[in-house]
Amino acid sequence: MVNIAAVALVPRGPADAEVADLADLVDLVIAGCFEGEGPSVDGAADSVRAAALRLAGRPGWGGRDEQVAAAEILPGGPMLSLHGLGKRGEFSFLRLSRWLYRAADAARGAGRVVFVLPVHTETAGAPAAERVLRALALATYRYDRFQSEREREADWTAPLAVAPPPGEEAVFSAALPTAAAVAGAIGFARDLANTPPNEASPAWMEERARELAASRGMEVTVLDAEELARRGMAGLLAVGGGAAVPPRLVRLAWGTSGPVISLVGKGVTFDTGGISIKPAADMDEMKYDKCGACAVLGAARAVADLGLPVRLRVYTPLAENMPGGRAYRPGDILRFANGKTVEITNTDAEGRLILADALTWAVEEGTDALAELSTLTGHCVVALGHQAAGLFTPQDTLAAALLTAGAESGERLWRLPLYPEFLEAMKGTHADLRNSASRPGGASTAAAFLSQFVGDLKNWAHLDIAGVANVKTDDEGQGAGATGFGVATLVRWIRRVISQV
């Protein structure tokens, strides 16, 4: 979990007559320096500025990205660690979060640590303050529940502190509660996603959703296999048919006033591909096929913690896609609750089938806007790599709102097309639709399939997070594992919707 209390604010320079120097407050000061510039310590205490200038004056120092130098601020006193930030014009939130993560990780056991933030557009204003504080809080996140005590890394002995840029102190102070709530929600989503599939079954995910609902005053409804069959929810029943633990559809509801916002998240707790089985390489990462469900549950937690005036409805279809005697097959034809029939051409195109059931229910209940998150296609990874999520929506206004929310949250979205030809490619031979088409445009054809289960609703969006839901290394501003991508964007978007009502 992330430690919400692990971030504090401290004055950049002398606060009053009793605090003569930042160095009196901490054991280690971490500051940045852009390439070709002096250290970015404007407004810091004299002793800190002097130490930073001494370090920057050493032969070979250039402020290059990842360059580090360290020295005592005063003889026998606290240390200063000066970090190269690269060229100012190339500095981004991604580089900032990588710096915070690496520097915080290196500072384990150093005692009281404070970051003196550089003066830059990435550290100025309310959205930036929330991003920075959230990133620093998440720098403390580790998923080590299954490691023995001796294998666990030492934790921080004191909260990580931040000295905001000059003039930004009030902005950072105001941003801290929201950043803490969102960071906690992201940590919660990461914990769910990182939990291994032998534990994180559909039943386990239901239990976590029930715990969340009980702790935040949410209403919870669960459709079990019998109820799914009664309602004609063929997608979940088919995808989960080969697993020992039956599928289910969990709905959470929070709030009694404000706009109705629906969130849908794909929850395949493990995806073997079913009869159309996946290659063995990297199949262990298929525990992350539930990251959409984890993200929308995390967003629900943050909305409740912030007390936002919204009627939030969250739907998480949960299933394990396994081969077996009761598994669904290529060639099967399924009839869905909205009357559409779907011919199965590939059992590894399962996410869209369980989402079809959840989308149908969400739209039937009525909503002002709907956002769905899923690790849906490898095609989106081919298109965008691991740098952005694909955004699909027929509504330009909704697209603009989500793109803005993503930019303000530091989570990249890129809009991809929903041309009519993509839906033509999903027409079935012996049914209305098929669940998989040829490889070209695969992310868009999958989105076109989903469009057939939102009825007449135009204000809906699909976010394909397959490329950004998890990372393999510790070099992406966080440790290896689930990212919790989407939580911050959804919360920011919901706040924007509320502000416009």
Query: Tell me: the pLDDT tens digits for 307-328?
Result: 999 999 999 999 999 999 999 9
The question of whether 278 is a catalytic residue gets the answer yes
Query: Tell me: the pLDDT tens digits for 334-378?
Result: 999 999 999 999 999 999 999 999 999 999 999 999 999 999 999
pLDDT band at 23 (very low <50, low <70, confident <90, very high): low
The domains of the chain are located at: 4-167, 187-499
Closest CA to 376 of 314, 467, 285, 459: 467
Q: Is the pLDDT at 1 greater than 50, yes or no?
A: no
Distances (CA, A) of 65 to 59, 90, 91, 236: 17, 10, 10, 48
Mean pLDDT along residues 397-407: 98
Mean pLDDT along residues 129-141: 93
Mean pLDDT along residues 275-300: 97
The question of whether 340 is a catalytic residue gets the answer no
Quote the pLDDT of residue 477: 78
Quote the pLDDT of residue 423: 97
Distances (CA, A) of 114 to 6, 23, 127, 194, 444: 11, 10, 21, 29, 45
* Selected catalytic residue, list 54, 87, 278, 311: 278
* Selected catalytic residue, list 352, 412, 434, 492: 352
Give this prediction's pTM: 0.95
pLDDT band at 15 (very low <50, low <70, confident <90, very high): very low
Which residues lie below 8 Å from residue 319, measured CB to CB, with a gap of 6+? 202, 236, 239, 240, 243, 247, 248, 267, 268, 269, 350, 354
- φ/ψ of 3, rounded to 5, equals -90, 105
pLDDT band at 152 (very low <50, low <70, confident <90, very high): confident
Quote the pLDDT of residue 5: 44
pLDDT band at 77 (very low <50, low <70, confident <90, very high): confident
Q: 229 by DSSP, 3-state: which? A: helix
How many Å apart are CA 150 and CA 145, to the nearest integer?
12
Query: What is the β-pairing status of strands 7-9 and 369-374?
Result: unpaired
Report the share of the chain in percent with pLDDT over 90.
83
CATH topology of domain 4-167: Leucine Aminopeptidase, subunit E; domain 1 (3.40.220)
How many Å apart are CA 422 and CA 486, to the nearest integer?
25
Q: Is the pLDDT at 111 greater than 60, yes or no?
A: yes
Mean pLDDT, rounded, of the chain: 93
Superfamily grouping for domain 187-499: Zn peptidases (3.40.630.10)
